[in-house]
Amino acid sequence: MSKLGLIIKREYLAKVRNRSFVIMTFLSPILMVGMVVLIAYLTKINDSETRVVGVLNESVFYSTDFGSTESMSFVIFEDVSLEQAKDSVINQNFYGLLYLPEGGTAEEVANSAFLYTKEAPISGVVDRLDGIFRDRLRQQRLLELGVTPAEFASIDTDFQLRTETFEGERNLKGLNELKAFIGGGFGYLIMMFIIIYGGFVMRSVIEEKTSRIIEVIISSVKPFQLMMGKIIGTSLAGLTQFAIWIFSASLLLFAIMSFMGLESQALESAAVMPGPGVSELSAMNPAGSEMQLYANELMRIPWVMLIFFFMVYFVLGYLIYSSIYAAIGAAVDNETDTQQFIFPIILPLMLAIYVGFFSVFGNPHGPIAVGFSLFPLTSPIVMLMRLPGGLGEGGVPIWQLVLSIFLLLVTFIGIVWLAAKIYRVGILMYGKKASYKELFKWLKY
Amino acid sequence: MNPILVADRVTKRYGTNFALNNVSLEIPSNSIYGLLGPNGAGKTTLIRIINQITYPDSGKILFGGEPLLPHHVSMIGYLPEERGLYKSMKVGEQALYLAQLKGLPKAEAKKRLLYWFERLQIGDWWNKKIQELSKGMAQKIQFIVTVLHEPKLLIFDEPFSGFDPINANIIKEEILHLKERGTSIIFSTHRMESVEEICEYIALLHNAEKILDGKLSDIKKEYKNNVFTVGMIAQKGDEILKELSERFQISASSYDPLESQVEFKVKLPSPDTGSFLKHLSSKGTVNSFVETIPSANDIFIKTVQSKSTHE
């Protein structure tokens, strides 16, 4: 076996046999599924809580408008003063008291109405009450204009604009978001992987320094070989872990779903991406044909292309970042000294995720999205958010993809070269507190 | 015999500091070579260059007559000053890994390991983790790992620091045994007295420069300055000492009237001791007369001093 192969094998086994790795591998899916179930459960509780609002209506209007719903119910007070009503609302621990004073017109009443609550009211309650007044007032004015309630009801429609591309393909509302969500899932995966396994690489380097074995090893192999072996071995361990997770998580999810008989819909909406996109959208548009369209669109997302480029960006992005992590590990003597160096590398990752979610979702091909998908430290995440929209016309222009990968490759070579230099010097430095200035000096050794 | 290793005007700097300045050395085959000098003299840098861990800014290294190349690492065994092993890895597995990195096939490595484990009586450690072993035990493993691939050149950086006296002795014996079987050995240390007795050749490094090298016995010959330690029995020892000190440089003198024992050191003007001994014999009975050979430490200090006065 080649030396690199030996190193990869050792690093892999050292990682995989580690007790905490084994525990994490088997505990995580349970935690993950537990979390999903918990979220689904909490969401249900949250929805089912009914808020009781007392209504003291001294006017002649709105008397029929306060109908209870699942999330809100009303208790109508009669023949009591405002103070008495307030007291009894507090005593009975109602959510609040809506007070409608006397008034000549519905409008007058609405304008002088008040909601009293213990704390600032949540927006759901206020929106609902606003809506009651708004609907009533609108109806009132329409009546004044000569529109009957029946006519009004027939006017009120649920309308959605249908859109098409110039080629005549039907577009669906929220499809860009959905696609970005899928890409975002991939991007998020890359970020998590980099942060977790980059950290492992770093700790492994520090361990070799503190156990003083490093010089024994680099008298046999090149520091670069050791660094790459470590990065590759650790990431293979990570991939193993991911594979186990995906497999066992889906197994568990399936088991729990069939065991508890929970609606898959409820689970999905709380589950990992891209689940929420799908179920939310289908919930909004329950019509079968729409669902079919979304399903078709999902099928039309170029999965093969996406997974291929996921691999490309994943490998390059991970190698760039983990070699920086390796260099950091080499530069310090113990883990507590790493903080000052870690923040600057997590920063672009966070930036990529946030820019991705806020900017790429809205407009996958806008200038910000394009810029960040070209910039090498963010492109692995941002470009993957754009790619589900397709390549070429209507999607990511080929030149952007090529340029992005080219820049990433150049950066990869540059960063690995720099990191290897720092690594080479750093692993033999003991007791020296590394500063950025010091690191810069090492580059010239 | 051809030198196993030649360093030819090797220079290495870190920033503006010289770690090695134009250092040339020849390390003869099948010898024990002491690389001596205080901390920071450049010993470790030179050793790292030989191990191709770092590279010289200028100058070259020849290994067995060939320019030093990556494949030579399999012919060198190196025990660094900063040494250790993977703490959570099992002894056998770890030794196999390190041996394979040196290019040994797995089966062969295992065979040799079993031989060494037997030899140093540590056979039952194979499945123990390093963290379960004592420091002395771990160092035996470290030694085995260093010599397992039967290198032509063995380099020990501060070899006996951290070894307890018993283990240090075992290791010393093993090193001498390896030398008998044809291995060339470099000892690098700042504790010069610790290796003096086993080194045939030495080089002294100071402030990144080589200030002295050669066969230890030759160097000592060169540096001995006709100082002799004398013991004699004489009645009027104090008078004899007084008389002698008028004619010679006398130091460390003592006289015990009860035993009539006189002891002193004398520096003679020439290596010829005949007339001086005759003179002494006329005064009493000489019962010891030994030439004082300077230690490597003395030589080092002397050389450094003479260097700095020249400058």
A242 shares its domain with A387:
yes
pLDDT tier at A393 (50, 70, 90 boundaries)? confident
Average pLDDT for residues A49-62, to the nearest whole number? 82
Contact A180, A373 (CB under 8 A): no
From chain A residues 384-443, the ones with a CB under 8 A of any chain B CB are 428, 430, 441
* pLDDT at residue A175, as a whole number: 66
Among the partner-chain residues A7, A213, A223, the one whose CB lies closest to the CB of B85 is A213
Answer yes or no: is A387 within a domain. yes
* pLDDT at residue A165, as a whole number: 66
Quote the number of domains for chain A: 2
* Torsion angles phi and psi, residue A360, rounded to 5: -70, -35
Fold that domain B3-222 belongs to in CATH: Rossmann fold (3.40.50)
**Interface contact A219-B84, CB threshold 8 A:** no
Average pLDDT for residues A404-424, to the nearest whole number? 89
Q: A118, exposed or middle or buried, with CB in 10 Å at 0-12, 13-18, 19+?
A: exposed
Residue A277 has pLDDT above 50, yes or no: no
pLDDT tier at A396 (50, 70, 90 boundaries)? confident
Answer yes or no: is A298 within a domain. yes
pLDDT tier at A5 (50, 70, 90 boundaries)? very high
Residue A271 has pLDDT above 60, yes or no: no
A147 shares its domain with A245:
no
**Interface contact A211-B82, CB threshold 8 A:** no
Residue A163 has pLDDT above 70, yes or no: no
Average pLDDT for residues A11-30, to the nearest whole number? 85
Mutate to test the interface with A, among B18, B82, B139 (most CBs of A within 10 A): B82
Distance from CA of A425 to the nearest CA of B (A): 9
Residue A188 has pLDDT above 70, yes or no: yes
CB-based contacts of A430: which residues, under 8 Å, 6+ apart? A209, A333, B82
A119 shares its domain with A207:
no
**Interface contact A219-B15, CB threshold 8 A:** no
Among the partner-chain residues A215, A222, A445, the one whose CB lies closest to the CB of B82 is A215
Average pLDDT for residues A419-424, to the nearest whole number? 86
Distance from CA of A194 to the nearest CA of B (A): 25
Among the partner-chain residues B52, B53, B83, the one whose CB lies closest to the CB of A212 is B83
Residue A429 has pLDDT above 60, yes or no: yes
Answer yes or no: is A43 within a domain. no
Answer yes or no: is A168 within a domain. no
A435 shares its domain with A320:
yes
A110 shares its domain with A181:
no
Contact residues, chain B, for A430 at CB < 8 Å: 82
* pLDDT at residue B97, as a whole number: 93
Low-confidence winner among A243-257, A267-281, B114-128, B280-294 (lowest mean pLDDT): A267-281
Count of CB atoms within 10 A of residue B1's CB? 8
Contact residues, chain B, for A14 at CB < 8 Å: 86, 88-89
State how beta strands A51-57 and A96-100 pair: parallel
Percent of chain A's residues with pLDDT above 70: 82
Q: Is A170 on the interface with B (CB under 8 A)?
A: no
Q: Is B16 on the interface with A (CB under 8 A)?
A: no
Distance from CA of B121 to the nearest CA of A (A): 23
From chain B residues 197-236, the ones with a CB under 8 A of any chain A CB are none
Helix (H) or strand (E) run with residue B211 in it: strand B209-215
CA atoms in the 13 A half-sphere facing the CB of A237: 28
Helix (H) or strand (E) run with residue A375 in it: none
Q: Which residue is associated with the tokens 């995966």?
A: A189
A74 strand-pairing partners: A53
Average pLDDT for residues A291-302, to the nearest whole number? 69
Among the partner-chain residues A3, A219, A223, the one whose CB lies closest to the CB of B78 is A219
Query: pLDDT tens per residue, chain B (311 residues)?
Result: 688 999 999 999 887 888 899 999 999 999 999 998 888 888 989 999 999 888 899 998 999 888 998 888 889 999 988 888 888 889 999 999 999 999 899 999 999 999 999 888 887 888 888 888 888 888 888 899 999 999 999 999 888 777 788 888 888 889 899 999 999 999 998 887 777 778 889 898 988 888 888 888 888 888 887 888 888 888 877 788 888 888 888 888 888 888 888 888 888 887 788 888 888 888 888 888 888 888 878 888 888 887 766 65
Mutate to test the interface with B, among A207, A220, A440 (most CBs of B within 10 A): A220
**Interface contact B100-A1, CB threshold 8 A:** yes
Q: Is B14 on the interface with A (CB under 8 A)?
A: yes
B153 strand-pairing partners: B76, B184
Distance from CA of B146 to the nearest CA of A (A): 8
**Max avg pLDDT among A57-61, A228-232, A367-371, B226-230:** A228-232
* pLDDT at residue A1, as a whole number: 64
Q: Is B18 on the interface with A (CB under 8 A)?
A: no
Cα B27 to Cα B203: distance, rounded to the nearest angstrom: 10
**Interface contact A219-B76, CB threshold 8 A:** yes
* pLDDT at residue A280, as a whole number: 43
Answer yes or no: is A41 within a domain. no
A142 shares its domain with A210:
no
* pLDDT at residue A177, as a whole number: 65
User: What are the domain boundaries of chain B?
Assistant: 3-222, 225-291
* pLDDT at residue B153, as a whole number: 93
Average pLDDT for residues A161-168, to the nearest whole number? 66
pLDDT tier at A46 (50, 70, 90 boundaries)? low
3-state helix, strand, coil in chain A (%, to 5): 70, 5, 25
pLDDT tier at A285 (50, 70, 90 boundaries)? very low
Among the partner-chain residues B15, B52, B83, the one whose CB lies closest to the CB of A216 is B83
A64 shares its domain with A29:
no
* pLDDT at residue A283, as a whole number: 43
Among the partner-chain residues B14, B89, B98, the one whose CB lies closest to the CB of A14 is B89
Residue A205 has pLDDT above 80, yes or no: yes
The model's pLDDT over A311-323, given as tens digits with 9 standing for 90+, comes to 888 888 888 999 9
From chain B residues 132-161, the ones with a CB under 8 A of any chain A CB are 142, 145-146
A147 shares its domain with A196:
no
**Interface contact B98-A10, CB threshold 8 A:** no
Q: What is the pTM of this model?
A: 0.73
A244 shares its domain with A350:
yes
* pLDDT at residue B24, as a whole number: 92
Of residues B64 and A251, more confidently modeled: B64
* pLDDT at residue A246, as a whole number: 76
Residue A276 has pLDDT above 90, yes or no: no
* pLDDT at residue B112, as a whole number: 92
The size of the A-B interface in CB pairs under 8 A is 68
**Mean pLDDT (chain A, rounded):** 80
- In whole angstroms, how far apart are CA A81 and each of A55, A63, A94, B105? 12, 18, 17, 97
CB burial of A336-362 (b: ≥16 within 10 Å; e: otherwise) equals eebeebbeebeebbebbbebbbebbbe
User: Which ipTM did the prediction report?
Assistant: 0.80
Among the partner-chain residues A6, A208, A444, the one whose CB lies closest to the CB of B100 is A6
Contact A219, B78 (CB under 8 A): yes
A144 shares its domain with A288:
no
A16 shares its domain with A106:
no
Contact residues, chain B, for A207 at CB < 8 Å: 86-87
Among the partner-chain residues B78, B101, B145, the one whose CB lies closest to the CB of A6 is B101
* pLDDT at residue A12, as a whole number: 93
* pLDDT at residue A264, as a whole number: 45
What number does CATH give the domain B225-291? 3.30.70.260
* pLDDT at residue A267, as a whole number: 43
**Interface contact B85-A215, CB threshold 8 A:** no
* pLDDT at residue A286, as a whole number: 45
The parent domain of residue A330 ranges over: 3-33+175-442
Low-confidence winner among A78-82, A170-174, B105-109, B250-254 (lowest mean pLDDT): A170-174
A250 shares its domain with A394:
yes
Residue A193 has pLDDT above 50, yes or no: yes
Q: Is A211 on the interface with B (CB under 8 A)?
A: yes
Task: Report the candidate in A325, A213, A210 with the shortest Cα–Cα distance to residue B101.
Answer: A213
* Torsion angles phi and psi, residue B16, rounded to 5: -100, -5
Contact residues, chain A, for B85 at CB < 8 Å: 211, 213, 216
Sheet holding A51-57, edge to edge: A72-77, A51-57, A96-100, A114-117
* pLDDT at residue B13, as a whole number: 87
